[in-house]
Chains A and B, each alone.
Chain A
Amino acid sequence: GAGVSQSPRYKVTKRGQDVALRCDPISGHVSLYWYRQALGQGPEFLTYFNYEAQQDKSGLPNDRFSAERPEGSISTLTIQRTEQRDSAMYRCASSANREGLSSGANVLTFGAGSRLTVL
């Protein structure tokens, strides 16, 4: 697509429920990133994929969070047994560049985000 598409834009759920957030990156983009943004703060890195391979998941807060990108395109971020502290804006980004690009031009394009509210 023309941009990074995320769904749902808004999700309200009850504590203890599982949620799945979807990201459709720019067509052909190799790398896909998940960030989380609390109100009034900058985005924080969660995890990153090159093609279908999850390269780094060091930013995932705990084992309730997982992400996949099975075919190297669309990605799903899943939060199990949600808690109120999981409430935030979840942002996906993609870039055309593979890790190790020497030009330094690893430009990320972000989606509009999925706002999660856990009651």
Chain B
Amino acid sequence: DAKTTQPPSMDCAEGRAANLPCNHSTISGNEYVYWYRQIHSQGPQYIIHGLKNNETNEMASLIITEDRKSSTLILPHATLRDTAVYYCIVLFSNDYKLSFGAGTTVTVRA
């Protein structure tokens, strides 16, 4: 039961912003949107999460539409080290099972 839909892959130029879309049209009011990424064979790494408001931290920004049916992760200045698989996950606050899906493979090119 896939709760999110992401494009399978995208390319981005080094130094430019990378905008990663995610559709979650069946999200419920109490579900958060989380983003994790997995670089090569490393373990997944938390990036950011949000409920309704846009969020920003040192890694990225998360823009959630007003109807919460979709969101965009923004990497403001992509570097080669940002090449990874990015996972968009929706989760209740008291849930613990991350359902990773296939994610988006982002390739940052010099």
Chain B residue nearest to A39 in the complex (CB): B41
Q: Per a CB cutoff under 8 Å, which of A56, A102, A104 touches B97?
A: A56
**Contacts A108-B46, A110-B44, A113-B43 given: A103-B93 contact, CB under 8 Å?**
yes
B96 touches A110 (CB 8 A): no
Residue A33 is within 8 A (CB to CB) of chain B in the complex: yes
A106 touches B87 (CB 8 A): no
Residue A41 is within 8 A (CB to CB) of chain B in the complex: yes
Chain A residues with Cβ below 8 Å from B93 are 100-104, 106
A107 touches B46 (CB 8 A): yes
**Contacts A43-B44, A110-B45, A112-B43 given: A100-B94 contact, CB under 8 Å?**
yes
Cα distance, A41 to B49, chains bound together (Å) = 22
B97 touches A42 (CB 8 A): no
- Mostly helix, strand, loop or mixed at chain A's interface? loop
What is the size category of the interface that chain B forms with chain A? 20 to 34
Q: Per a CB cutoff under 8 Å, which of B41, B46, B91, B96 touches A48?
A: B96
Residue A91 is within 8 A (CB to CB) of chain B in the complex: yes
Chain A residues with Cβ below 8 Å from B102 are 41-42
Please encode chain B, from 43 to 54, with 1 for each CB lying within 8 Å of some chain A CB and 0 for all others: 111100101000
For the complex formed, measure the closest distance between the CB of A72 and the CB atoms of chain B, giving whole angstroms: 16
A45 touches B97 (CB 8 A): yes
Residue A99 is within 8 A (CB to CB) of chain B in the complex: yes
| Interface-central residue, A31, A42, A111, by most chain B CB under 10 Å | A42
B96 touches A99 (CB 8 A): yes
Q: Per a CB cutoff under 8 Å, which of B43, B91, B94, B99 touches A110?
A: B43
12-52 of chain A: CB within 8 A of chain B: 31, 33, 35, 41-45, 48
